[in-house]
Amino acid sequence: MSRWLRWLLSFLPRTAPPGPRLAIVRHHRVYAEGQQPLYRLGVGVATLERQLDLLGALGFTPVTVAEGLAWLRGARDGMRVAFSFDDGYRDNVALAVPALERRGARATFYLAAGLIESRTAPWWDRLAHRLEHAGGTDLDWTFDGRAVRARLSTRGERRAALELLLPMLRSAPEAQDRRLHELSDRLSVPGEPACELAEWHELTGLEPRGMEVGAHTLTHPFLSLLSPERQDAEIGGSVDLIARRLGVRCRGLAYPGGDYSAASVAACTRHGLAYAVTTLRGDVIPGAAPFELPRRAWTEGGCRGPFGEFSARLAGAELAGAFDGWRRAAEAAS
Ligand SMILES: [Zn+2]
C-alpha cells in the first residue's frame, strides 16, 4: 500500500468496534540513530519514542502481553496496548527497555533461546552478511534449478538482492543452511557474522524490571516445515533453556516468522504455555484462540507520512487497524 493511499485513507472516519480489545504491537530490533543496516528489521529508537509518546497522549501505557490478556479476561469495554519484541536482540535491552521505563511502560520479549545460547546469528543476518561482504559485483546462482542473477555494485543493488533472496531462504533448516553455504561460496564470503542477540547475563534484568520473558523456539525455524517431534523439541527446549538460564517459566511464545501448525499448538500446551502470538493482523478480543493471537506490526514505514516525516495521524490509524480491510482486499486480489 503506497504512502499516499494510506495518507488519504487516514482521513476517513472510523468507529471503534464494540467490546474490549487488546492490541499487541509486534516489534523486532530497535536501531540507534544513524544506523543503516543492509537489512532493516525494526524501527529507529526515535520512532519507538514517538510511538510511546503518541500512546501516552492517547492515554495508553503499554503493558506486557500476559498483563494485557489478564486484563481482557475481566474487561467489559475499552482497549489496552501491549508491546512485544521478537528474537532478543541486544538493542532491545540497550534502547527499548530504557525508552519503556522512562514512561512506566512494559513489554514482552520473546527469546530465540538456542541462538542466544550458541551465539549464532539468525538466518536473515547470515544472509545479509553475505550480501554486505560479497567479493564480486554480481551474483550468479542456481536455486531449485532456476537461474538467479543480481547486480551487487551499489548498496541499493545489494539491498534489492537481499529482498530477492529472503523468500528463497524461507525453508526447512537443512535446506536453508545448505543454501547459505552455497551463497558463501558464490559470493566469496568466509565466516559468519557476529551474533547481535543479547547474551544471557544481559537478559537477567528483564523480569525483575517488570518485563515479561517469552519463548521463541531454540533455532528460529519455520515450525510447520518440521515434524511434530522436532517442533516439540524446539518449543519445549526453548522454554526449558530460558528457565535454566534466567529462572523464568515462560507463559507465552511467539511463532518464528508467524509460521505454525496444529502440532505447534499441541506442543505449546504440552509445555505448559498459556498463549502464543502469531503475525496474523488484528486485535485480541474475548474468546480469541489463545494459541493463535493476532498482533499489529507498527513499522517505521507505517508511521511516516508522504514526505517521510513521523505522522501521529498515520501511526494512530495504523494501530487502530484502519487499513486492515484495504490490505485484505489487496492481498485477495494479488
Ligand atoms: Zn523472530
At 329 the pLDDT is 67
For the segment 147-168, what is each residue's pLDDT rounded down to a tens digit? 999 999 999 999 999 999 999 9
111 Cα–ligand 1 center, Å: 8
Whether residue 276 is found in the same domain as residue 222: yes
DSSP 94: I
Q: What is the mean pLDDT of residues 203-224?
A: 98
How confident is the model over 270-286, as a mean pLDDT? Answer: 96
User: pLDDT category, 4, cuts 50, 70, 90?
Assistant: low
Among 92, 115, 108, 103, smallest CA distance to 45 is for: 92
Query: Which is nearest to 252 in space by CA: 266, 230, 269?
Result: 269
Domain boundary among 139, 157, 187: 187
DSSP code, position 101: H
pLDDT: which is higher, 314 or 293? 293
pLDDT for res 300:
83
DSSP three-state, residue 143: strand
Same structural domain, 139 and 255: no
In terms of domains, do 76 and 144 share one? no
Give 331's pLDDT tier (boundaries 50, 70, 90): low
Contact 273, 264 (CB under 8 A): no
Mention every residue, 6+ apart, whose C-beta is less than 8 A from residue 17.
Answer: none
Question: pTM, whole model, 2 decimals?
Answer: 0.93
Q: Which domain holds residue 142?
A: 123-187
For residue 91 the three cell numbers come to 538493542
Residue 165's closest CA among 137, 133, 141?
141
Tell whether 205 and 155 lie within a shared domain: no
CA of 288 to the centre of ligand 1 (A): 22
User: What is the residue-averaged pLDDT of the chain?
Assistant: 92
The pLDDT value recorded for residue 315 is 80
Environment class of 143 (CB within 10 Å of its CB; exposed 0-12, middle 13-18, buried 19+): middle
Q: Are residues 133 and 222 in the same domain?
A: no
Looking at 163, 187, 211, the residue that finishes a domain is 187
Distance 306 CA to ligand 1 centre (A): 29
Q: Report the pLDDT value the prediction gives residue 194, as an integer from 0 to 100.
A: 97
Checking if the pLDDT of 76 tops 60, the result is: yes
pLDDT in tens, 100-146: 999 999 999 999 999 999 999 999 999 999 999 999 899 999 988 88
- How many angstroms does the Cα of residue 217 sit away from the middle of ligand 1? 9
Does residue 334 have a pLDDT over 60?
A: no
Domain final residue pick, 187, 211, 232? 187
pLDDT band for 220, please (50, 70, 90 cuts): very high
What is the whole-number distance in angstroms between the Cα of residue 238 and the centre of ligand 1? 13
Same-domain check for residues 163 and 177: yes
Indicate the number of domains in the chain. Answer: 2
In the structure, ligand 1 is a single-atom ion and the residues with CB under 5 Å from it are 86-87, 256
**Diameter of the chain measured on Cα atoms:** 61
Mean pLDDT of 271-294: 96
Question: How many angstroms does the Cα of residue 70 sit away from the middle of ligand 1?
Answer: 24
